[in-house]
A = this chain, B = another copy of it.
């Protein structure tokens, strides 16, 4: 019998599958934090729920062995939330006990329960938004959208993708092989989907929900148990997520330890390595540094490892209609969450001889100046700026800005801003530095994570595209943005994107920004360059999370 939660959410699932097939626009989770959609008191209630969690022990009835938690809001205060500390062996033993009935429950139950969790998460979007804001430093609007509905979209995408593979395995089959004049050989075969075991989800400190949900829900929807190990700096959004998942599991009659939280204090590197190489960890989803991601890929060989790591996102400017529209669009991409998105551009290549526009030629310096001015305009009014740039997640980003200043001529200096509502917030405007492709390659072929971008003089657009393709291929990249009115250049951009294995956006001047990737339509990451070994979300992301065990026996031929 189909699980009632599957029946309840089946139409959403059907629509998600259809959206994935056509890859047009679709989302079931409204992205605007509108009272009309989420309820008149939803925002205030969510903020209150968030505040009620501060300076308390987070309520989670899972095996514990002390308390941990040292989160500090980038907006300038300690969260004071204390989480159960887990002894890994005890926690994994509890997970092992929980997982068997879950593994046997079958695909419609896994998917139904996953979809119900998602609906509850959607209802908690404001509480999650405040917790994302005060762990990542995202401004509220972004924390709501990226941390709430957009993360939920990506989760649903993963569930639908998993279902699309699960549903292809017939539960049983009749097999009849002719034997010439003799009666045929006839067998009935049964196929059981067997989850891999325990999945470990390793969260990051900038997008704790958006980057963790796909792996978490891909695991869950294919019947695995999941241990969620948040970044020590951004535990709360995932703790709320785990709490909600456990509530739904419990209500559905399962041991809630199917989904557990493994919160840690900072400097948990050795612990993570021990966790990741446990024989019972069969799936790992990781977002974070290249160093740690590579370590997992090379050492956690007992598991399937899905990583998203660092990259160098690039913009190539060849020619434009209207430099102001281009500069506005680029400036927004640089400023949004202070360049702390994995998709934010860093290297902007402009031919040293300048570019063509509808109003004549612009020199290299004029292009750089236009971008600098556009960034300045977006960030000059602190009250408006902070709603866009948010706060810097940690001090390492501040220090990185300091180091980046000396790389070349500063086109636009980074300035600290005082947040009108949070006086101790860590707010700094973007830094723009001028570099030269002829001399500075060792400077711009690495990621400078944060509000740091380079306007780089090249010999030509051909050189710009060659750099874009080869840097993406060698150092990784999630996005490439190209501005050109020339069809041959657009074709060359396409070739560079394929060489670099990177998603290309052409001539963005309006309301779409290169940083943004839309679930059900845009693949996030390609798996074809060092920035990620997987994409959100395709069959490769889900198909290894379960196995099929068959049994067969003779039956009478059906004749």
Residues of chain A whose beta carbon lies under 8 Å from any beta carbon of chain B:
21-25, 165, 168, 170, 173-179, 185, 187, 189, 191-192, 194, 196, 297-298, 301, 493-494, 497-498, 501-512, 518, 521-523, 526-528, 535, 538-540, 543-544, 547-554
Which residue of the partner chain, among B165, B191, B504, B540, contacts A552 with CB atoms under 8 Å?
A: B504
Q: List 13 A-B contacts (CB under 8 A).
A: A22-B173, A23-B191, A24-B174, A25-B178, A177-B518, A189-B522, A493-B551, A497-B551, A503-B551, A522-B550, A526-B548, A527-B544, A527-B547
Q: Which residues of B contact A298 (CB under 8 A)?
A: 301
The answer to whether A173 and B543 touch across the interface, beta carbons within 8 angstroms, is no
* Contacts A23-B170, A540-B543; A518 near B554 (Cβ below 8 A): no
Q: Which residues of B contact A535 (CB under 8 A)?
A: 547-548
Q: Which residues of B contact A550 (CB under 8 A)?
A: 503-504, 522-523
Q: How far is the CB of A310 from chain B (nearest CB, A)?
A: 18
List 20 other contacts, CB 8 Å, given A24-B175, A25-B176: A21-B170, A22-B173, A23-B189, A168-B539, A173-B521, A175-B521, A185-B510, A196-B528, A298-B301, A493-B551, A501-B547, A501-B549, A503-B552, A504-B552, A506-B552, A523-B548, A528-B547, A535-B547, A539-B539, A543-B543
Q: Which residues of B contact A544 (CB under 8 A)?
A: 527, 540, 544
The answer to whether A539 and B549 touch across the interface, beta carbons within 8 angstroms, is no
Q: How far is the CB of A326 from chain B (nearest CB, A)?
A: 13
| A21, A185, A497, A550 interface centre (most CB from chain B within 10 Å) | A550
Is chain A's interface secondary structure helix, strand, loop, or mixed overall? mixed
Q: Which residues of B contact A168 (CB under 8 A)?
A: 21, 539
Q: How far is the CB of A160 from chain B (nearest CB, A)?
A: 12
The answer to whether B174 and A549 touch across the interface, beta carbons within 8 angstroms, is no
* Contacts A23-B175, A544-B540; A553 near B507 (Cβ below 8 A): yes
Q: Which residues of B contact A498 (CB under 8 A)?
A: 192, 194, 549
Q: Which residues of B contact A505 (CB under 8 A)?
A: 551-553
The answer to whether B547 and A512 touch across the interface, beta carbons within 8 angstroms, is no
Q: How far is the CB of A408 from chain B (nearest CB, A)?
A: 30
The answer to whether A506 and B551 touch across the interface, beta carbons within 8 angstroms, is yes
Q: Which residues of B contact A178 (CB under 8 A)?
A: 25
Which residue of the partner chain, among B179, B503, B511, contacts A549 with CB atoms under 8 Å?
A: B503
Q: How far is the CB of A224 from chain B (nearest CB, A)?
A: 12
**Identical copies of this chain, number:** 2
The answer to whether B521 and A189 touch across the interface, beta carbons within 8 angstroms, is yes
Instruction: Report the separation of the CA atoms of residues A422 and B298 in the bound assembly, to the nearest whole angstrom.
Output: 49
Instruction: Report the separation of the CA atoms of residues A540 and B196 in the bound assembly, to the nearest whole angstrom.
Output: 13
Q: How far is the CB of A525 from chain B (nearest CB, A)?
A: 10
Q: How far is the CB of A532 from chain B (nearest CB, A)?
A: 10
Q: How far is the CB of A58 from chain B (nearest CB, A)?
A: 36
Chain B residue with Cβ nearest A187: B512
Instruction: Report the separation of the CA atoms of residues A23 and B535 in the bound assembly, to the nearest whole angstrom.
Output: 29
The answer to whether A549 and B502 touch across the interface, beta carbons within 8 angstroms, is yes
The answer to whether B552 and A522 touch across the interface, beta carbons within 8 angstroms, is yes
Instruction: Report the separation of the CA atoms of residues A194 and B526 in the bound assembly, to the nearest whole angstrom.
Output: 10
Instruction: Report the separation of the CA atoms of residues A259 and B553 in the bound assembly, to the nearest whole angstrom.
Output: 40
Chain B residue with Cβ nearest A20: B168
Q: Which residues of B contact A185 (CB under 8 A)?
A: 510-512
Q: Which residues of B contact A179 (CB under 8 A)?
A: 511
Instruction: Report the separation of the CA atoms of residues A209 and B178 in the bound assembly, to the nearest whole angstrom.
Output: 25
The answer to whether B173 and A24 touch across the interface, beta carbons within 8 angstroms, is yes
Q: Which residues of B contact A527 (CB under 8 A)?
A: 544, 547
Q: How far is the CB of A115 from chain B (nearest CB, A)?
A: 21
Instruction: Report the separation of the CA atoms of residues A410 and B354 in the bound assembly, to the nearest whole angstrom.
Output: 87
Q: Which residues of B contact A543 (CB under 8 A)?
A: 538-540, 543
Q: Which residues of B contact A504 (CB under 8 A)?
A: 549-552
Which residue of the partner chain, among B24, B507, B548, contacts A176 with CB atoms under 8 Å?
A: B24
Q: Which residues of B contact A187 (CB under 8 A)?
A: 512
Chain B residue with Cβ nearest A174: B24
Q: Which residues of B contact A552 (CB under 8 A)?
A: 503-506, 512, 522
Q: How far is the CB of A219 from chain B (nearest CB, A)?
A: 15
Instruction: Report the separation of the CA atoms of residues A196 and B498 in the bound assembly, to the nearest whole angstrom.
Output: 11
Q: How far is the CB of A382 from chain B (nearest CB, A)?
A: 28
Instruction: Report the separation of the CA atoms of residues A245 and B523 in the bound assembly, to the nearest whole angstrom.
Output: 33
Pairs of residues from A and B, 7 with the lowest C-beta to C-beta distance, nearest first: A506-B553, A23-B173, A504-B551, A540-B543, A528-B547, A539-B543, A540-B544
Instruction: Report the separation of the CA atoms of residues A435 and B196 in the bound assembly, to the nearest whole angstrom.
Output: 33
Q: How far is the CB of A218 from chain B (nearest CB, A)?
A: 13
Instruction: Report the separation of the CA atoms of residues A262 and B173 in the bound assembly, to the nearest whole angstrom.
Output: 40
The answer to whether B191 and A512 touch across the interface, beta carbons within 8 angstroms, is no
Instruction: Report the separation of the CA atoms of residues A415 and B176 in the bound assembly, to the nearest whole angstrom.
Output: 37
Q: Which residues of B contact A191 (CB under 8 A)?
A: 23, 523
Instruction: Report the separation of the CA atoms of residues A493 and B550 in the bound assembly, to the nearest whole angstrom.
Output: 12
Q: Which residues of B contact A297 (CB under 8 A)?
A: 301
Instruction: Report the separation of the CA atoms of residues A324 and B276 in the bound assembly, to the nearest whole angstrom.
Output: 51
| A170, A521, A551 interface centre (most CB from chain B within 10 Å) | A551
